[in-house]
Amino acid sequence: MSFASSSGPTAAWPEIAPPVAPREDREIHQLGRVRVDSFAWMKFIPPSGSRTLESLPARLREHLEAEMQYARGVLDPLAADIRYFRERMEERAAGFSEPLPMSSQGWRYDFRLPAGQAHRVFSRVGPDGAAQELFDEAERAGGHAYYRATDHQASPDDRYFAWAEDVRGDDRHRICILDMASGVVRTLVPADAFGYGGFTFSPSSRYLFWIWRDARSRPTRLYRSSVEGDEPVLVYEEHDPAIFMQVARTATGGFVALTLASPDVSEVHLIAAGAETATPRLVRPRRRGVRYEVNEWNDALLMLTDADGALDGKLLEIDPASFAVRRERVPHRAGVSILAVLPFADALVRLERVEGLHRLVLMYPGGGETVVGFDEPAYTIALAPSQPYDARQVRIVHQGPSSPPRWLDVGFADGECRVAGRQRLNAFDPGAYRVERLRALAADGESIPITVLSPADARADEPLPLLLTGYGAYGIAREPLFSLPATVLVDAGFRYAIAHVRGGSEKGRRWYQDGCREKKRNSMTDFIACARHLLDIGHAAPGRIVAHGVSAGGLLVCGAMNIEPRLWAGVIAQVPFVDMLNTMSDADHPLVPLLRPDWGDPLADPHAYDHMAGISPYENVRRAVYPPLLCTAGLKDDRVPYWEPAKLVANIRRHSTGSHPAVLHLNPDSGHQESDDQNAEFAQAALLWAFARRCVAAAG
């Protein structure tokens, strides 16, 4: 018997009166248009530091505390379901170790998550087979309400190991460095570093190049610090708030590459090995509508670019001295997206997407190619980080909705895949699930891919409770990854489906362009079309579909909720971007200048204003029976601040003609993401699944 059909507490929602947010109508005049924002007063930006409950104005603090109390009242009755889901996740998790490729010096780095533990332990094995434990993240996280670490990397000479960690929840990192000879950990950058592709060792291992975030959390400066901890030196400063920065070494260690980019422009500056204190050299000046990135292979530079109409990318070989184009290595092929290139001495590896699925292409210096793919309905491939240039194989990570991650070595000589490691789970049978790749038809005739994970013994026409998730923004594909929590939900009698809507990149660059700016509504109607298709084929029943989205995926599902509120048994929106028009009208927001190419500029463009006004979830709440809604938020979130979901919840309570709850689940210690530990992941997923189950049960 599935958990979904087992006995449990009553399906009715508690009869608790929600907080009533004070209305303070504020007229906003913009481009000759006038709108009224009744809940703008909820927005609070402290003059300095991170937000805390104690630092909020009294009225706002009292309101948010009332929201937290209401959330407890609505969600506490789900305790038995939450406990059930969490226990099933914990029982299935066996701990794991990720096998990383051997370094050029013969060291093999690794991290493991011990069974029953929440944090990772990092270690390495030397050429002689001797193991050395580097550090335990549980010790680093001790005493902090929030902890998330990222970008772990060894120096090229294997002397140092560095990582960025956030102990405040606001994405402002410190950079730590371990001297692996002495075992001493130092904080090289104490605060305000950027931790996602934001630092790298120099080829000589003498320096760390790192990116600094300004007071608005924008990455704006590149610094160079000696690994010994001398005063940092400013290398480059970016003054355009619409530009994002990342830094990395090229494949052979010939350069440090600073990449400056936005959705429709990019620019690369190179710092050569042997001249690490020199001024960076510009490869191509930025030009609106042209994106490119640079790597190196066999004494040449490679440029992956969309110039000259190459929407899905082409690969050029350029001279490392003059930056002149030598030849076209891979031409543009419409519908075949080049997602990444990883150079090795014996082969250039391309990760591509064709018909929505990944494939690997091994391209040899002397000519010829080997294509590596997988005969599965839905899966994903990723390139493992930090692979040595002289390796004889490339390590990839393969996974799918019913297939836990496997680390595979693909040999350059024969193209054969050899298993280097796999994530082990307790009492898990991949054969207990069925994976399908379906297609929904949009109103304009477009075919929308859907990935569905079902119990293997469920008939194709057997309607089950369904959780439908999606993203559809920034050209980011919603990949069909393995999710332990999703398998537990399916074990409980649900289907779990991913709607690959326009706005992502599942079908190439055009797929993104057809779901942004004035075409953004396509994403929402695509999501609705996917839900209706699953109803039509009998995979789901009316009133038993729960929508789920994260961040910009919250815009997707809340927009779809406004369009057809009666379609959903419930809506789960994690840290949702839902106050679109007001946020994109805030030039001081850290991401707004960067993301105008995706959404438009309502401060300068009347057309952009009007299309945002027509789809922004907060602006388009109407009198209707709204489904149960759960919004999560982090008080310290600078990307999607807490007031966006808080305002949406207040507006739905104001307009809804039904009695379903609209809940704001606020974490006062987190930002855009929860702490990076297994306990936090399982606790949140268990809460969401319990809410979804109650939504379906309450709908009858």
Rounded to an integer, the average pLDDT of 146-157 is 93
Of 377, 409, 424, the one marking the end of a domain is 424
Q: How many domains does the chain have?
A: 2
Biggest CA–CA distance in the chain, Å, is 73
pLDDT for 111: 86
Residue 314, classed as helix, strand or coil, is strand
> Would 176 be classed as within a structural domain?
no
Residue where a domain stops, chosen among 424, 449, 481 = 424
- What pLDDT is recorded for position 353? 97
Q: What is the DSSP track for 258-296?
A: EEEEETTEEEEEEEETT-TTSPPEESS---TTB-EEEEE
Helix (H) or strand (E) holding 160: strand 160-166
Contact 639, 670 (CB under 8 A): no
Q: How far apart are CA 22 and CA 41, in angstroms?
A: 9
Residue entry with tokens 């997988």: 374
Q: Is residue 193 part of a domain?
A: no
For residue range 442-478, list pLDDT tens digits in order: 999 999 999 999 999 999 999 999 999 999 999 999 9
Which positions ≥6 away from 459 have C-beta within 8 Å? none
Tell which of 424, 450, 485 closes a domain: 424
- What per-residue confidence (pLDDT) applies to 1? 33
Backbone angles phi, psi at 629, to 5 degrees: -130, 130
CA distances from 427 to 1, 89, 90, 423, 432 (A): 17, 11, 11, 13, 11
Judge whether 169 lies within some domain.
Answer: no
579 occurs within a structural domain: yes
Residue 679 scores a pLDDT above 70: yes
Query: Residue 662 class from Cβ within 10 Å (0-12 exposed, 13-18 middle, 19+ buried)?
Result: buried
Are 361 and 390 within one domain? yes
**419 and 437 co-located in one domain:** no
528, 406: one domain:
no
The pLDDT value recorded for residue 335 is: 92
On the 0-12 / 13-18 / 19+ scale of CB atoms within 10 A, 383 is middle
**Mean pLDDT computed over 118-139:** 91
The residue segments making up the domain with residue 445 are: 3-38+56-90+428-698
CA pair distance 244, 271, nearest whole angstrom: 18
378 part of a folded domain: yes
In a domain, 648, yes or no: yes
Q: What's the rounded Cα separation, in Å, for the pair 417 and 395? A: 9
Same domain, 549 and 675: yes
Residue 350 DSSP one-character state: E
SS (H, E, C) 488-500: HHHHCCCEEEEEC
Whose CA is closest to 139, among 161, 97, 167, 109?
167
Judge if 593 and 691 occupy the same domain: yes
* Other CB atoms within 10 A of residue 495 CB: 25
Residues 75/691, Cβ–Cβ less than 8 Å: yes
Are 401 and 473 part of one and the same domain?
no
Using alpha carbons, select from 408, 330, 407, 315 the residue that is nearest to residue 367.
330
- Return the ∠ at Cα 53 (arms to 50 and 58), rounded to 5°: 120
**Nearest in space to 164 (alpha carbons), one of 134, 137, 195, 120:** 195
- Is residue 497 included in any domain, yes or no? yes
User: Is the pLDDT score of 540 beyond 70?
Assistant: yes
Closest to 641 (Cα-Cα) out of 625, 664, 659, 613? 664
pLDDT of 700: 79
What does the pLDDT read at residue 217?
Answer: 87
State the average pLDDT for the chain.
94
More confident residue, 60 or 94: 60
Assess if residue 146 is contained within a domain. no
Residue with tokens 């009755």: 77
Distance between CA atoms of 472 and 185, rounded to whole angstroms? 41
Are residue 350 and residue 412 in the same domain, yes or no?
A: yes
Same domain as 568, residue 454:
yes
Characterize 47-63 residue by residue with b for buried, 16 or more Cβ atoms within 10 angstroms of its Cβ, and e for exposed.
eeeebeeeebeeebeeb
272 near 262, Cβ under 8 Å? no
Under 8 Å between Cβ of 541 and 458? no
pLDDT tens, residue by residue, 374-410: 999 999 999 998 899 999 999 999 999 999 999 999 9
Residues 408, 511 share a domain: no
Q: What angle do CA 612, 617, 622 make, to 5 degrees?
A: 110
> What does 395-453 look like in DSSP terms, one character per residue?
EEEEEETTEEEEEEEEETTT--EEEEEE--BTT--GGGEEEEEEEEE-TTS-EEEEEEE
Region of poorest pLDDT, from 93-97, 265-269, 483-487, 496-500: 93-97
Strand order in the sheet with 292-297: 292-297, 300-305, 314-318, 325-330
Query: Is residue 7 scored above 70 in pLDDT?
Result: no
Strand partners, 661: none
| C-alpha distances in Å from residue 551, one per residue of 317, 515, 634 | 38, 16, 12
Question: How distant is the alpha carbon of residue 33 from its chain centre?
Answer: 35
CA-angle at 213, arms to 207 and 218, nearest 5°? 135
Q: What is the pLDDT of residue 50?
A: 82
Radius of gyration, CA atoms only, the chain: 25
Beta strands in 591-688 (DSSP E): 629-634, 662-667
Q: What is the CATH number of the domain that holds 540?
A: 3.40.50.1820
pLDDT of 497 > 50? The answer is yes
Amino acid (1-letter code) at residue 338: I
Phi, psi (deg, nearest 5) at residue 255: -150, 155
Q: What is the mean pLDDT of residues 165-193?
A: 94
The C-alpha torsion from 78 through 621 and 44 to 262, rounded to 10°, is: 100
SS3 of residue 13 by DSSP: coil
pTM: 0.94
Confidence of residue 4 (pLDDT cuts 50, 70, 90): very low
Position 271: which residue type? I
**Cα–Cα distance for residue pair 303/293, rounded to 1 Å:** 6
Amino acid, single-letter form, for residue 397 = V
Query: What whole-number distance in Å separates Cα of residue 264 and Cα of residue 595?
Result: 10
- The CA distance from 658 to 679, in Å, is 35
Please say whether the beta carbons of 100 and 109 come within 8 A. Answer: yes
Angle, helix 58-75 to helix 678-698, in steps of 10 degrees: 70
CB 602 within 8 A of CB 615: no
- pLDDT above 70 covers what percent of the chain? 98
Same domain, residue pair 579 and 691:
yes
The secondary structure element, H or E, covering residue 696 is helix 678-698
Residue type, 366: G
Considering the domain architecture, whether residues 583 and 559 belong to the same structural domain is answered as yes
- What is the three-state SS of 175-230? EEEEECCCCEEEEEEEEEECCCCCEEECCCCCEEEEEEECCCCCEEEEEEEECCCC
Instruction: Clarify whether residues 410 and 442 are in a common domain.
Output: no
What pLDDT was estimated at residue 10?
A: 58
